[in-house]
Amino acid sequence: MENLVLQALSGLASASSLFLVASGLTVIFGVSRVVNFAHGSLYMLGAYLAWTLVTTLPRGHLGFWGGVIGAALLVGLIGLLVEVLLLRRIYRAPELFQLLATFGVVLIVQDLALMTWGAQDLLGPRAPGLRGSVEIVGLRFPLYELFLIGVGPVVLALLWLLFHRTRWGTLVRAATQDREMVGALGVNQRMLFTSVFFLGSLLAGLGGALQLPRESVNLHMDLSIITEAFVVVVVGGLGSLSGAALAALLIGELHAFGILIVPKITLVLVFLVMALVLVVRPHGLLGKPEAAARGGQGSAEPVIGPAPPALRWLALAALAVAVVLPPFLGDYAVSVLTELAIFVLFAASLHLIMGPGGMASFGHAAYFGLGAYGAALAAQWLGAPMLAGLALAPLMAGIFGLVFGYFCVRLSGVYAAMLTLAFAQIAWSVAFQWVEVTGGDNGILGVWPDAWAAPKLVYYYLALALCLGATLFLRRVVHAPFGYALRAQRDSTLRAEAIGIDAFRIRWLGFALAAAAAGIAGGLFAYGKGSVFPTYMGIPRSVDALLMVLLGGVQTLSGPIIGALAFTGLQEQLVRLTDLWRLILGCIIVLLVLFFPQGLAGAARARWEARHGDA
């Protein structure tokens, strides 16, 4: 019983920290509609800067608390800088491009932090005056945790006062409800956005700085907190401060008690709750549906015409190289090419959802991984031959695509994207924690191709044929009535329904088809590597797929193909050449977003069309 009380209290302390970060994220999203992936990086910077300041400043109250506040302010300024230099220029870009840009910032910050503070974990001093512990129901409880429990409500109260008692706060609330209207009323939106970013970043920095006495500062803080913060914000309802508080409480306590009750599924618990909340309440606990954007036709996607002849020749040339060259290459190069072919299909499958479908998926790796596990499990437990495994891969991914997609495609925008992420995380943690069947973290080894396909070169041609075939099939689909129906519901659900198109069904089937195609890629990857691991379904791989599609451009299928080749090739080379590949890749992403907002293929197409004068 006493244990439960302490557990509840430590749950409250986590909830408090979580709320600080999530409140900043939700305020920023509410006003700017930017899904700020870099928010976790700001949190991490808060912790690192606090460490530097606290260890440099003289010891004592002033040094510690001054350091914490100073770190929060510095992070606020960094956030402000990111807004002014980067985000301000891309507010009109599609939501996912903003996400891509902030992800570039994540990569940059990771390497900068590594350069500045090194790879080892840093331990901060404990808070002066709060070192001891108090006795609660006969057990000892750290004072600092108690202090943290108080911080959350205090910050919530201050934010409430700020938003309800000041003119600035009223403007922020107004902009959260209807940004265009606030603009039309002559409010200086730039100042408003910049100041909101400052506040949001400051809160993230404060959240990070206050972790200093609790845990070591390390380079993984950014991604671990951002997923949790996203969960909190989405469960609470995007843009809703009280929702974030409620959700932080829920998630904090869930963590605390989940460990006691069902230790086996701790990793998945949070995402299960998020999935459940989103299925029951599509806009989170306290969120409201977004105000529909005005001026309907303004942001229409361009018409898809036949590919320009130059592109056709280029594609044929690339194909000729892909077929003729490999026999003259070494094993390593051939396996790199195999991977390239696989990732082209992976990106192309995501493109079907994002381009024609108009939906976002943050969890597409789930279907890649499910395909890989489908093949590996068949090989491991049924002794299935390779071709049977490869046939099972898309089946497994497709079936789960149907099940998960049934829920995901009902939602819209960021909520839909977050639900795909939740399902992917659920799949990931099942693979990670169901050790008896999946081998857990150790994965499944010995998934080798049949003897006839064992030579690297033969396997390459097999992968090339299957990936190319599947990608070309997806291309046919985009140009066939089904692909048009997908675009129809994306362009105008109202019109689609008015001509008898069942938008939900079309989206659902499109999602499942994309999942099955990703499954083929996953199955091929499994046999290519000879093993599968839970990381195949992890967030980084989903992000990779997003990067490929967005780098290339979502308009036509040439985009993800070029994006996959560019991204995989670039990463491969950068990792080999330099330790600072994250920094360089991040900078490249940011520059691409700033200067090629339509992606590489989109930019090339625009140039080609400008030169040939048919707009």
Partner 1 sequence: MATLEVEGLTKSFGGVRAVQGVTFAVEPGEMLALIGPNGAGKSTCFNMLNGQLRPDAGRVRLMGRDITGIAPRQVWRLGVGRTFQITATFGSMTVLENVQMALLSHHRRLGQLWRPVARMDAAPARALLDRLGMADQAARPCGILAYGDLKRVELAIALANEPKLLLMDEPTAGMAPQERVSLMALTADIARESGIAVLFTEHDMDVVFSHADRILVLDRGRLIAEGEPAVVRADPKVREVYLGSGAVTGAH
Residue of the chain from 31, 463, 485, 515 that contacts partner 1 (CB under 8 A): 485
* Shortest distance, position 308 Cβ to partner 1, whole Å: 16
* Shortest distance, position 202 Cβ to partner 1, whole Å: 41
Residue 491, interface with partner 1 (CB under 8 A)? yes
Q: Which is nearer to partner 1, 164 or 495 (CB)?
A: 495
Q: Which is nearer to partner 1, 58 or 295 (CB)?
A: 295
Q: Which is nearer to partner 1, 65 or 484 (CB)?
A: 484
* Shortest distance, position 479 Cβ to partner 1, whole Å: 5
Query: CA separation (Å) from 527 to 322, 442, 518, 609?
Result: 20, 16, 15, 42
DSSP string, 421-459: HHHHHHHHHHHHH-HHHH-GGG-EE--PPPGGG-SHHHH
Residue that has been written with the tokens 């529909």 in this structure: 292
A 10 A CB-CB count for 570 gives 15
Residue of the chain from 58, 138, 263, 481 that contacts partner 1 (CB under 8 A): 481
Query: CA separation (Å) from 175 to 171, 184, 287, 568?
Result: 6, 11, 15, 40
Residue 488, interface with partner 1 (CB under 8 A)? yes
Residues in the interface with partner 1 (CB under 8 A) total 32
* Shortest distance, position 509 Cβ to partner 1, whole Å: 8
Q: Which is nearer to partner 1, 232 or 397 (CB)?
A: 397
* Shortest distance, position 596 Cβ to partner 1, whole Å: 20
The dihedral over CA atoms of 27, 28, 33, 39, expressed in degrees to the nearest 10, equals: -120
Helix (H) or strand (E) holding 531: strand 531-532
Q: Which is nearer to partner 1, 163 or 482 (CB)?
A: 482
DSSP 8-state assignment for residue 326: G
> Which two tokens mark 39?
């928010």
Residue of the chain from 55, 218, 492, 535 that contacts partner 1 (CB under 8 A): 492
Binding to partner 1, residues 415-474 (CB under 8 A)? 473
Binding to partner 1, residues 495-534 (CB under 8 A)? 495-502, 506
CA angle, corner 41, sides to 35 and 43, nearest 5? 100
Binding to partner 1, residues 18-57 (CB under 8 A)? none
* Shortest distance, position 49 Cβ to partner 1, whole Å: 46
What is the total residue count of the chain?
A: 615
DSSP 8-state assignment for residue 598: T
Residue of the chain from 480, 577, 591, 610 that contacts partner 1 (CB under 8 A): 480
Residue 477, interface with partner 1 (CB under 8 A)? yes
* Shortest distance, position 11 Cβ to partner 1, whole Å: 40
Binding to partner 1, residues 300-339 (CB under 8 A)? 300-304
Q: Which of 409, 550, 557, 554 is nearest to 478 (CA)?
A: 557
Q: Which is nearer to partner 1, 496 or 524 (CB)?
A: 496
Q: How far apart are CA 342 and CA 466, in angstroms?
A: 9
DSSP 8-state assignment for residue 556: S
- Which residues partner with 445 through β-bridges? 531
Phi and psi angles of residue 166, each rounded to the nearest 5 degrees, phi first:
-120, 155
* Shortest distance, position 488 Cβ to partner 1, whole Å: 5
Question: What is the sign of the dihedral through the CA atoms of 401, 287, 231 and 7?
Answer: negative
Residue 476, interface with partner 1 (CB under 8 A)? yes
Q: Which is nearer to partner 1, 50 or 517 (CB)?
A: 517
> Which two tokens mark 16?
């408090």
* Shortest distance, position 512 Cβ to partner 1, whole Å: 13
Residue type, 143: L
* Shortest distance, position 402 Cβ to partner 1, whole Å: 15
The site map against partner 1 for 62-81 (x = CB under 8 A) is --------------------
Of the candidate spans 113-121, 397-405, 476-484, 567-575, the one that interacts with partner 1 by CB under 8 A turns out to be 476-484
* Shortest distance, position 354 Cβ to partner 1, whole Å: 14
Residue that has been written with the tokens 């009535």 in this structure: 481
Q: How far apart are CA 222 and CA 535, in angstroms?
A: 18
- Which residues partner with 140 through β-bridges? 135
Asked if 597 contacts 93 with a C-beta cutoff of 8 angstroms, the reply is: yes
Residues that bind partner 1 (CB under 8 A): 296-297, 300-304, 473, 476-477, 479-485, 487-488, 490-492, 494-502, 506
